Amino acid sequence: MMYLKIMDIHNIVEKYAPSILKESYDNVGLMVGDMECRVTSILVALDCTLKVIEEAKQNNCNLIFTHHPLLFKRPDSITSDNLLGEKIIKLIESHINVYSCHTNLDSAEGGINDIIVELLGLNSDDIVDPIKTESRPGCKDGIGRISQLEEPIILSELCNRVKKYLEMSSLRYVGNEFKLIKKVAVINGSGQSYFNKARLQGVDCIITGDTTYHYVSDFEEQGMAVIDAGHFGTEWPAMEKVAVFLQKQIKSLGFENSVVLSKINRDPYKYK
Q: What is the pLDDT along the chain (272 residues), one digit of tens a residue?
A: 789 999 999 999 999 999 999 999 999 999 999 999 999 999 999 999 999 999 999 999 999 999 999 998 888 899 999 999 999 999 999 999 999 999 999 999 999 999 999 999 999 999 999 999 998 999 999 999 999 999 999 999 999 999 999 999 999 999 999 999 999 999 999 999 999 999 999 999 999 999 999 999 999 999 999 999 999 999 999 999 999 999 999 999 999 999 999 999 999 998 88
Q: Number of folded domains in the chain?
A: 2
Residues 143 and 193 in one domain: yes
Question: Are 125 and 218 contained in the same domain?
Answer: yes
Q: Binding site: residue ranges?
A: 67-68, 106, 231, 235
List binding-site positions for a divalent metal cation. 67-68, 106, 231, 235
> 10 and 97: one domain?
yes
Cβ distance 195 to 172 under 8 Å? no
Handedness of CA 227, 231, 235, 237 (dihedral sign): negative
* Residue 78 sits in the same domain as residue 113: no
Residues 101 and 152 in one domain: no
Report which DSSP code applies to 178: T
Asked if 41 contacts 257 with a C-beta cutoff of 8 angstroms, the reply is: yes
Query: How far from the centroid of its chain's Cα atoms is residue 13's Cα?
Result: 14
- The range of the structural domain enclosing residue 182 comes to 109-228
Same domain membership, residue 53 and residue 113: no
Q: Indicate if 178 and 144 belong to the same structural domain.
A: yes
Q: What is the pTM of this model?
A: 0.96
CATH at 60: 3.40.1390.30
Question: Does 119 reside within a domain?
Answer: yes
